[in-house]
Amino acid sequence: MEYISTRGNDKRTPSMAILKGLAADGGLFMPEYIPKMDIPLSGLAEMDYRELAYNILKLYLTDFTEEELRECVNKAYDSKFDDKAIVPLKKKGDAYYLELFHGPTIAFKDMALSILPWLLTTAAKKNGVKERIVILTATSGDTGKAALEGFKDVPGTSIVVFYPKDGVSPVQEKQMLTTGGENTFVVGIYGNFDEAQSGVKEIFNDKAFEKTLKDRGILLSSANSINIGRLTPQIVYYYYAYLDLLKKGIIKEGDRINIAVPTGNFGNILAAYFAKEMGLPVNKLICASNENKVLYDFFSTDIYDRNRDFFVTTSPSMDILISSNLERLIYLITGRDAEKTSDLMKSLADIGRYEILPKEAEGLESFYGGFASEKETEEEIRKVFDDSGYVIDTHTAVASFVYRKYKEETGDDRPTVIASTASPFKFQQSVIKALSPEDAGDDEEILTDRLSEIAKVDIPYAVLSLRNAPIRHDIKCSPEEMKETLIRILEK
């Protein structure tokens, strides 16, 4: 299997596509075809998470040996997840919540970022890359910590994360600054996320700097969500959820389910679409947005238009106006027309919008788009708690609300899996505000205790361990000094 750029001018083996991340022509790598699952569902149902992950990933990462791939999977999905199932599925009310937040940073980014470092270092070895791999990432909060945890102490790598000094939540900042490991570096920028992001992009585009680093045995890479090494591991848990329903006798083999996903960059829901295309019996993919509802508008008008106000919401990981991974779906619905995809993406870059044709829009029929306002999100947290005593985070609440709206509108009551992307402890201010407004605004530690009491759930280790954790990182710089700072770090 080879990987082809959505813009047509780059083609690589799976391991090279992982190493490169982004294609040389600016496009995203796509497998030449979406492989069909060759094992019957009843056979897959016997497997544990790791075995299932191996059997799915081997269809995509065809130049990895069985031994290499199994080792990556085993190193990723181990005791750093605090639930033996890795992704427990919980029935609450009439929906099935797939808890993707049992990893080290209690958000779903851990599902991919705990395996990416191993895929990347294995890919480097396979391709004779001798350099030390240095991961550069700009983060607005969640990705940074998940990437730090993923790459921490992985031999042959270092990771440098830049974050806006005053642009992340206190919990997110503390999570990053207390990260252990000898190969992790965290830098606060006196600027906003866009400046951090531009600074990182500039470093990546500096060919002379790339050469200097190469001479010193260093190769820069990124842990960005468009890497196929992040996309493919996300297919696994949708299979896992289906098989769990099958094993519990809630569905029969072949029955179709719905999947609802709180969406930002379109990576998580695209993985569910891949699962469907591989043969998993899925009816609708319910794409849930917050008030930044650019995707909802796209599904209802066939026009993607980022020219609009940007809202800061209580589900910040979905505050996105350019959903990068949508380019892969566009490529598929245009019949893998790289020229057409390039034109649409050029239009997005130039004027901030593009429109697809009616016959292309037919390719979107698997999707249902919806959105939740801030008020609806807060009310959903309350409603789910009142109905079943279950506490969900703000992102999950967006999907939960949109699912209910879908069900009312269509009368479709088949089993529906809701991707639960973060622990409520990660966004506890907003969750407490919905459930117990008189406690909102309290000190973070008091809120954590209160939430644990309300939810009847133990405080996750990721939160508890922050309490007495020493601050281990204190580098700060202006956006202009990012490259110099990176050089100083690499000289250590």
Ligand X SMILES: *Cc1c(COP(=O)(O)O)cnc(C)c1O
What distance in Å separates the CA atoms of residue 283 and residue 448, rounded to the nearest whole number?
38
User: Which of the stretches 101-109, 156-164, 197-205, 381-389 binds ligand X when contact is defined by CB under 6 A?
Assistant: 101-109
The string over 323-337, giving b where at least 16 C-beta atoms fall within 10 Å of a residue's C-beta and e elsewhere, is bbbbbbbbbbbbeeb
Pairing of strands 303-305, 353-355: antiparallel
Give the interface segment with ligand X, choosing from 105-113, 150-158, 368-376, 448-456 (CB under 6 A): 105-113
Does residue number 102 form part of the binding site for ligand X (CB under 6 A)?
Answer: no
> Could you give the 3-state DSSP secondary structure of residue 462?
helix
Considering only residues 367 to 406 of the shown chain, the ones binding ligand X according to CB under 6 A are 395
Identify the residue among 222, 258, 268, 313 touching ligand X (CB under 6 A). Answer: 268
Rounded Cα gap, residues 246 and 255, in angstroms:
9
- By CB under 6 A, is residue 462 in contact with ligand X? no
Pairwise CA distance, residues 383 & 152, whole Å? 39
- Return the residue of 262, 369, 460, 479 that touches ligand X, per CB under 6 A: 262
421 contacts ligand X (rule: CB under 6 A): yes
Q: Which is nearer to ligand X, 183 or 313 (CB)?
A: 313
Among the listed residues 226, 422, 432, 477, the single contact to ligand X using CB under 6 A: 422
Which is closer to ligand X, CB of 144 or CB of 264?
A: 264
Residue 263 contacts ligand X per CB under 6 A: yes
Catalytic machinery residues: 109
- 178-237 residues in contact with ligand X (CB under 6 A) are 225
With CB under 6 A as the contact rule, which of the stretches 102-110, 174-182, 364-372, 483-491 interacts with ligand X? 102-110
Q: Which of 264, 415, 424, 479 binds ligand X (CB under 6 A)?
A: 264
Beta bridge partners of 353: 305
Tokens of 108: 């779903």
16: nearest Cα among 228, 303, 189, 292: 228
Residue closer to ligand X by CB (options 64, 162) is 162
Sign of the CA dihedral with 298 first, then 304, 310, and 312 last: positive
The residue type found at 253 is: E
Q: In this structure, which amino acid lies at residue 211?
A: K
Q: What is the 8-class DSSP label of residue 47?
A: -
User: Least separation, in Å, of the C-beta of 393 and ligand X?
Assistant: 7
> How far is Cα 183 from Cα 473, in angstroms, rounded to an integer?
12
Residue 32 burial (10 A CB sphere; 0-12, 13-18, 19+)? exposed
Q: Which two tokens stand for residue 139?
A: 């983060």
Residue 328 interacting with ligand X (CB under 6 A): no
**What mask, x for binding ligand X by CB under 6 A, covers residues 114 to 153?**
----------------------------x-----------
Residue among 463 and 477 whose Cβ is closer to ligand X: 463
Q: Which residues bind ligand X (CB under 6 A)?
A: 107-109, 142, 225, 262-268, 317-318, 395, 421-422
